[in-house]
Amino acid sequence: MAEDARRTTRSRLRALGTPLAAFALLLALIGAVALWVGTNAHRLITGETATVRTLERCTEGVGTAPAASCGSEWVFPDGGTGHGEIKNPPVAVGDRIFAGDDWAYSSTAPLHRAVWLPGALLCLLVLGTIALAVGYRIDTRRARAAPPPPAPPHPARHRPPGPGPTT
pLDDT tens, per residue, the chain with 167 residues: 556 555 666 676 666 677 777 778 878 887 888 888 888 999 999 999 999 998 887 776 665 455 577 788 999 999 999 999 888 777 888 999 999 999 999 899 989 998 999 888 878 878 888 898 889 889 888 888 878 778 877 776 766 676 766 66
Beta bridge partners of 124: none
CA-CA-CA-CA torsion sign (36, 39, 40, 42) = positive
Sign (positive or negative) of CA dihedral 42, 48, 51, 53:
negative
pTM: 0.58
